[in-house]
Amino acid sequence: MCQSNALQGPDLHTGKWLRSGNGGSSSCAGNPQPQLESPGPAGSAGGTPNRRARFRLQFPQLALRRRLGQLSCMSRPALKLRSWPLTILYYLLPFGALKPLTRVGWRPVSRVALYKSVPTRLLSRAWGRLNQVELPTWLRKPVYSLYIWTFGVNMKEAAVEDLHHYRNLSEFFRRKLKPQARPVCCVHSVISPSDGKILNFGQVKNCEVEQVKGVTYSLESFLGPRISTEDFRFSEVPPGNSFQQQLVTKEGNELYHCVIYLAPGDYHCFHSPTDWRVSHRRHFPGSLMSVNPGVARWIKELFCHNERVVLTGDWKHGFFSLTAVGATNVGSIRIYFDQDLHTNSPRYSKGSYNDFSFISNNNKEGIPMRKGEHLGEFNLGSTIVLIFEAPKDFKFHLKAGQKIRFGEALGSL
């Protein structure tokens, strides 16, 4: 009787499977040579594996792994160039269409990194050029009316209500208000420098400032290294103290902050929030990412990445600063008394800044500013950050998220 044959292995030349008896030969008489047998279908009674079927199943993963291996050998710029289109599709396509790619080792670029790669400075310069284009008289009212309807602009407050008066979008964005539209509060010591929404306010703690609830940024990264005390009237603080303590010049005082977000429909000029003296300007070239509260919750230290102009000086209680933070389509930050300031330049060094002192041999006092006096302007919308020193009994008269208008009270002693 013949013994059952066992699988020995595939033939290297034919690809077929060899069967052999015990000891490598057949135990049936008259059949001493090993038999060749074609492999049956996968899952058949014979249990022989179907190599073609397995290859077809494994081929997509093998091809993807091979492609990803090639990508990993590329230079970083080339890798980003190849990865970003796939990443954009990964986030845009519904139902997780590209999620299977993550199972073979591919990882999409993070949303934050993807957003930071957008050329916002170039887009903002292009938007600025577009804003300067003079519109035909017949087109002005339809264009401005659409903007008014979209962002809820109150044209009854404008000094000139006739829409045909504004030759281009830039003039419309920087429209002036009627004198009685924004009465300046004379009772409280600090007023709102602009229209907007209060994102955050309070005491500065541990050299950290909140840009929105729960998201902070470094005080020193935002303001930059401490300015020489030659520009200030108060005494020098020992250098061993923390950056926050160096800014506080009088014993018993604290450092406070307030963040005001200007929406596209808000009044775009900003004013002096108190009586103070501006002694120094520091310009940080940088990104022009959106400062919308939703984005501010998403990107840590957003205000430190964006282009900004920091005005520092002093008021009756010590240190005082006002920072105008740029944003997407807001490459132009203008300070009325600073003709040397030029923002959103085509080229800049990351992390660099430019200093300018208003204190000179001919001007020992700097630039005196009165409460409510015109200070500067944005295009479209942005953010104002106040950081100042005040006694411990200073109180804000605000609620987070509330709307505020220029001239209304921020806080007082």
Q: Is 231 a catalytic residue?
A: no
Task: Check if the beta carbon of residue 59 is closer than 8 Å to that of residue 104.
Answer: no
Closest CA to 256 of 323, 196, 201, 210: 201
Whole-angstrom distance, CA of residue 215 vs CA of residue 298: 8
Whole-angstrom distance, CA of residue 59 vs CA of residue 55: 6
Q: Is 192 a catalytic residue?
A: no
How many angstroms separate the first and last alpha carbons of the chain?
110
Question: Which residues share a beta bridge with 212?
Answer: 215
Element (H, E) at 91: helix 76-92
Alpha-carbon radius of gyration of the chain: 34
Phi, psi of 114 (to 5 degrees): -65, -40
Q: What's the burial of 140, exposed, middle or buried (CB within 10 Å: 0-12/13-18/19+)?
A: buried
Select which of 170, 189, 321, 382 is catalytic: 382
Whole-angstrom distance, CA of residue 233 vs CA of residue 224: 20
- Dig out the tokens for 72 from the structure: 């990993």
8 C-beta neighbours (distance < 10 Å), count: 13
User: Residue type at 255?
Assistant: L
Select which of 257, 268, 271, 305 is catalytic: 271
CA dihedral 339, 341, 344, 347 (to 10 degrees): 120
**Alpha carbon of 395 to those of 189, 257, 306, 312: distances in Å?**
10, 12, 29, 22
Closest CA to 401 of 216, 197, 196: 197
Select which of 195, 231, 266, 314 is catalytic: 195
Q: In sequence order, which residues have a C-beta less than 8 Å from that of residue 301 and are 6 or more positions away?
A: 211, 216, 217, 218, 221
Whole-angstrom distance, CA of residue 53 vs CA of residue 58: 9
Q: In sequence order, which residues have a C-beta less than 8 Å from that of residue 35 and are 6 or more positions away?
A: 5, 18, 19, 26
Q: Is 397 a catalytic residue?
A: no
Residues serving a catalytic function are: 195, 271, 382
